């Protein structure tokens, strides 16, 4: 019942915003292939790119800074997120450009955690009627500009933080979402939606 209500409340947000749909497709692919596999890891980072990047330059920096800022508004350490996301993007680039496989990194689960939370945040922000009235072709650019401005303006930052944290209540599920264990390559941690 809760999942159905959640779906009904946010389904239009996804269908009205191609970049969210792309981010979710890559995220689901990442979860299906598991972020400890190279393919799953790459898909998770591409999902973040779909959310936080609007052009061909400074992708790593824009993705890391914007994501860390938003994640910091909802209780995740923004400094750790910034550093981890830059590292994840470097690793993604190495893999995509033929750098072979990466050694086991027990923190790779964080890319899944950050991506999941970022998608949820964008869904919350795009649920707002004012943002929904922005031309579909300009909506992503405008929301990224709003995020950038909120980094520099305390009032905007506080307003965004309040909106995000109020919206996160919709996504609080009472089922376990994290599973840990020991596998052939060492310890693992999987976080379900």
State pLDDT tens for residues 56-95: 889 999 999 999 999 999 999 999 999 999 999 998 988 8
The CA distance from 13 to 51, in Å, is 14
pLDDT digits over 11-57, tens only?
A: 888 889 999 999 999 999 998 888 778 889 899 999 999 999 998 88
The CA distance from 86 to 67, in Å, is 11
Q: What angle do CA 85, 3, 113 make, to 5 degrees?
A: 10
Q: For residue 160, count other CB atoms closer than 10 A to its CB.
A: 22
Q: Answer for the pair 116, 27: CB distance below 8 angstroms, yes or no.
A: yes
Residue 112: the pLDDT is 92
Mean pLDDT score across all residues of the chain: 88
Cα atoms in the 13 Å half-sphere on the side-chain side of 165: 11
SS3 state of residue 110: helix
pLDDT at 1 over 50: no
Q: What percent of the chain has pLDDT over 90?
A: 59
The CA distance from 82 to 176, in Å, is 27
Q: Answer for the pair 35, 41: CB distance below 8 angstroms, yes or no.
A: yes
Tell me which DSSP letter residue 179 carries. E
Residue 100: the pLDDT is 73
Residue-wise DSSP of 67-107: HHHHHHHTTS-HHHHHHHHHHHHHHHHHHHTT--PPPP-GG
């Amino acid at each position: 019942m809760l999942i159905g209500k959640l779906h009904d409340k946010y389904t239009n947000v996804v269908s009205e915003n191609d970049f969210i749909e792309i981010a979710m497709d890559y995220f689901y692919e990442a979860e299906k292939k598991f972020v400890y596999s190279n393919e799953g890891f790459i898909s998770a980072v591409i999902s973040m790119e779909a959310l936080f990047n609007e052009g061909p330059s400074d992708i790593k920096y824009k993705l890391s800074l914007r994501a860390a800022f938003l994640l910091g508004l909802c209780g995740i350490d923004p400094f750790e997120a910034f550093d981890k996301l830059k590292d994840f993007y470097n690793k993604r680039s190495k893999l995509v450009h033929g750098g072979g496989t990466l050694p086991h990194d027990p923190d790779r689960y964080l890319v899944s955690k950050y991506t999941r939370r970022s998608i949820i945040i964008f869904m919350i922000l795009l649920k707002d009627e004012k943002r929904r009235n922005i031309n579909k072709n300009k909506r992503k650019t405008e929301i990224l500009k709003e995020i950038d401005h909120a980094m520099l303006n305390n009032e905007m930052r506080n307003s965004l933080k309040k909106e995000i944290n109020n919206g996160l209540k919709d996504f609080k599920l009472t089922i376990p979402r994290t599973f840990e264990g020991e596998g052939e390559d060492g310890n693992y941690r999987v976080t379900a939606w």
